[in-house]
Amino acid sequence: MPFHHEPRNPSFTEKTLKQSTAEVGLNLSNGAGYLADHKLRYFLSEYNNRIFSLGNEDFPMSAMAMRDLFSVNMPGGYWLLRAEKDFLFDFDDFVDYSTSEESS
């Protein structure tokens, strides 16, 4: 999803816009490639497109649930992903462990 390069948000100067789109672009291009990585980056792109074009006034309700996964950078208030850790485990192993006496 491309960013708007001529934002209506007056808090973005040309320098801030270039820096913020570069940082967000780096966040969007990273990730291990798992489904969760793609979903997080989808929301990151969506929220930043809204910030770049409309400011902080037009956010969906999902932003409240997702806000702990992102950090807000100033100036401009654009969002970046917090540090990520990928945890992979087998679901059967998880169920076996969580229902065993070892997990209590």
pLDDT tens digit sequence for 27-57? 888 888 888 888 889 999 998 888 888 777 7
> Which residue do the tokens 């780096």 mark?
26
> Does residue 43 sit within a domain?
yes
pTM of the shown model: 0.65
- Residue 89 falls inside a structural domain: yes
Q: Does 35 fall in a domain?
A: yes
Please check whether residue 1 lies inside any domain of the structure: no
Q: Give the ranges where 1-104 is alpha helix by DSSP (H).
A: 14-29, 35-54, 62-66, 91-98
97 or 8, which is more confident? 97
3 assigned to some structural domain? no
Could you give phi then psi for residue 81, rounded to 5 degrees?
-75, 140
Query: Based on the structure, what is the number of domains in the chain?
Result: 1
The token duo for 103 is: 């997990």
Q: Which two tokens stand for residue 3?
A: 């960013």
Tokens of 10: 């007056």
What pLDDT band is residue 101 in, cutting at 50, 70 and 90? Answer: confident
